[in-house]
Chain A
Amino acid sequence: MPDGATPFVLDVKDLKTVFRTRGGEVHAVNDVSFTLKPGELLGVVGESGSGKSVTMMSLIRLLPMPPAEIRGGSVMFEGQDLAKVPEDTMRAIRGARIGMVFQDPMTSLNPVFTVGYQIMEPLRTHMGLNKAQAANRAVELMELVGINDARRRLDDYPHQFSGGMRQRVMIAIALACDPKVLIADEPTTALDVTIQAQILELIKDLRQKLGMAIVWITHDLGVIAGIADRVMVMYGGQVVEQAPVRELFANPQHPYTRMLLETVPRITGERSEKLRVIEGQPPMLSKAPESCPFRARCPQAFDRCASQNPARFDVGPSHDAACFWDFKTGAPRHV
């Protein structure tokens, strides 16, 4: 391995993030562990409030602290533990070694600065380029993400771009310093379907050209099926299942994943069929989980689920699920 002993670019272990609010604590991220290999695309799925975004935000420490607080765990990246490094080290990593793309391109760019200025900012901060060099690099980046007539558009303001184009600008900013890891937080959710497809193609293409690892947060299983290598399913601030993408779709081993896949509407079959939903509400995360967070909505739940929070059991080659029910035998697990 070129950079040290670990085969992973990102190795997160037992990450725990808590929000302290007036109404008490919210345990948003509970002992989340995952790894990311170089060049890999990890899809993170789960419903709203499942902790997908908060997990990624806390590992690059982009959450407002307070109220957020990282209470434990480690985030190994390039030989450093991001959960413990001082803030200025973290700043040198953010935007340079780890890029981020956010959900809403309409509001993610600063309206009063030109697009060129905003792309050049990380270049000048992290790579120490002068204005002319940064402008040249910005033009390259804009061409890379498919913005035509880039040199002239440098001086345009965000409002002169369409939503899809702004998201391309965001991607250009995230890629500016050639990051090792790109965290994409629902980058296509706010875009309409054709633009969404274009952005997906762009990311696939860039990934091949640049070879960075990507964490792709979404609640759209269709998107995940199209681009991810591996999928991590989150629920109640925990990872409930993790598997290579084909394996996950063909052979889900957690009841939440199974139900999630059933909610996807089918193009074939009876049209009168009602859309499937998962009944019930996601759990309140007001205390650290001592039981399975999904048990209230789970058809497989039995007494053990109420007294113990399942660990992630290996259920196949690089496939694990946090459930006491074994779908292969159709009976509770004996561990």
Chain B
Amino acid sequence: MSLLELKNIYKIYGDLHALDDVNLKVEKGEWLSIMGPSGSGKSTMMNIIGCMDKPSKGEVLLDGVDIAKESAKNLTAIRRDKIGLIFQQFHLVGYLTAIENVMLAQYYHSVPDEKEALEALDRVGLADRAKHLPSQLSGGEQQRVCVARALINYPEIILADEPTGNLDDANEKIVVDLFHKLHSEGTTLIVVTHDPEVAEVAQRTVYLRNGKLHKETINENFTGEIKFDNEVEI
């Protein structure tokens, strides 16, 4: 059984079909990139996978449970327990320090543990910046705090929306390296991006256009190097 399966997903806003009959499977431990131009439905898809929105039609099976039928309260619980979110805009709480931002995810999940939060910051190389406020951190550092917050509760899926969209090359490399590390530890990664360099390092990339899955590429020589050797038209 796949960890995540989207079956005939539609998301309709009036006359606009933001997602139009999308089918997708994500296996446990897989690193998937979702690419597409602006307005192709990437963020809508991320919202649905991330339990922040429901499809207009179709099934979204996460660990075999159709989350499209769950109540808002249950969706919050599923999101809290199974999904780690990383955003393009970082979305750190401005009046909390880096470590407190990480502990915030622990607080809503179970019990805050300062030592564990510090270890998470250490994994992203920010242990020495733990007591800094977001305003005292660079963009790359803020995104790494965001990664630490996403992984603190050992989620089944880490869902990243344009995680390098606001970063320079150096910080982009640091974040992608972190993803590699998480993937090698068995974490399932779904990265929504429009940056080919970020997308191509994933095991598999799906392309969205006008709300439909347009094509899919599989990186058979998945090593972190950019190499597309198999392309399948959908």
Does B bind A?
A: no
